Amino acid sequence: AAELEYESVLCVKPDVNVYRIPPRTSNRGYRASDWKLDHPDWTGRLRVTSKGKTAYIKLEDKVSGELFAQAPIDQYPGIAVETVTDSSRYFVIRIQDGTGRSAFIGIGFTDRGDAFDFNVSLQDHFKWVKQETEISKESQEADARPKLDLGFKEGQTIKLNIGNMTTKKGGVAKPRVSGSGGLSLLPPPPGGKIAIPPIPPPSSTAIANHVTPPPVLKSSNMSSADILLDLDAPASASKAPASATTDLWGDFSTASSAVPNQAPQQSNWVQF
């Protein structure tokens, strides 16, 4: 995997000064004022590259590009790159050779902007390394978890309710009936009673032929037996010849002019 990784350039600065620094005697940090800033030990070009998760600070000759020294960096901030306590343009780096020997040297930039770009390039690289490490860890944890089986088991079924197609227990879905005007009409409820059509009103001819009988005053000396006998009179009256009922209004005037104490005369009207 290391052979397949390619080297990318993160930052290039054409002017950098290298200083030999005295050993640190305390934990207070390095101070650039202790160096001979006016007389650098070497001057050249600085390149910051990365290969995989490791960054490299390479000090090269300005003309030939020959490598003077390089410092591999596994984490930042860390022991491989440290800032000084009294300036933002100077750093202490740990250089290594192919045999495993290491030494600490000081580097400095004339322009403060170059020092800022050098610092930001290292921060961005190790921020990316941190994100890659977290993503790789999450993927490994996801692979270790038991996978959820969402497939159907043998004989397993599901039930879907779509719109108004739901049915009752043991019933069948009834389709909706659409009317001519585009409105949906519901079917009549089961077991409903059929309305009986109303009886048509009597015609005008039947109303004209109906004659209301005139009121008859009952005498005080009539008995209940006479009243019962009069109830049977319609049967005998229906058998009378049609010629006897020609003058109906004459009997009506006769009955209305009768005296109350006088016995009712025999006529074709039924007495009630």
Length of the chain as a residue count: 272
Mean pLDDT of 162-183: 56
Cα angle 117, 121, 123; round to 5: 115
pLDDT for 114 beyond 70: yes
Residue with tokens 């930042």: 76
- Average model confidence (pLDDT) for the chain? 73
Looking at residue 18, its pLDDT comes to: 95
Banded model confidence at residue 99, pLDDT cuts 50, 70, 90: confident
Q: Which residues pair with 83 in a beta bridge?
A: 91
Banded model confidence at residue 151, pLDDT cuts 50, 70, 90: confident
State the Cα–Cα distance between residues 249 and 238, nearest whole angstrom: 18
Which residues contact residue 267 at a Cβ distance below 8 angstroms, ignoring those fewer than 6 apart? 251, 254, 255
Looking at residue 244, its pLDDT comes to: 47
Domain membership of residue 122 as a residue range = 7-139
Residue 70 lies in a domain: yes
Number of helices (H), then strands (E), belonging to the chain: the values are: 5, 9
Q: Check residues 203 and 67 and name the one with the higher pLDDT.
A: 67
Looking at residue 219, its pLDDT comes to: 47
SS3 call for 82: strand
Residue 249 lies in a domain: no
Q: Are 66 and 118 in contact (CB under 8 A)?
A: no
pLDDT for 84 beyond 70: yes
Residue 266 lies in a domain: no
Looking at residue 198, its pLDDT comes to: 64
Mean pLDDT of 56-66: 92
Looking at residue 17, its pLDDT comes to: 94
Mean pLDDT of 227-245: 48
User: Measuring CA to CA, which residue among 36, 216, 26, 195 is closest to residue 108?
Assistant: 36
Dig out the tokens for 269 from the structure. 């009207």
User: Measuring CA to CA, which residue among 27, 263, 128 is closest to residue 255?
Assistant: 263
Banded model confidence at residue 187, pLDDT cuts 50, 70, 90: low
Residue 159 lies in a domain: no
Radius of gyration, CA atoms only, the chain: 62
State the Cα–Cα distance between residues 158 and 152, nearest whole angstrom: 9
pLDDT for 176 beyond 60: no
CATH of the domain at 104: 2.30.29.30
Residue 49 lies in a domain: yes
Residue 50 lies in a domain: yes
Residue with tokens 């961005």: 124
Residue 128 lies in a domain: yes
Residue 66 lies in a domain: yes
Domain count, the chain: 1
Query: Would strands 81-83 and 67-73 be described as parallel, antiparallel, or unpaired?
Result: unpaired
Query: Measuring CA to CA, how many Å separate 46 from each of 4, 15, 61, 106?
Result: 25, 7, 9, 13
SS3 call for 135: helix
DSSP annotation of 245: G
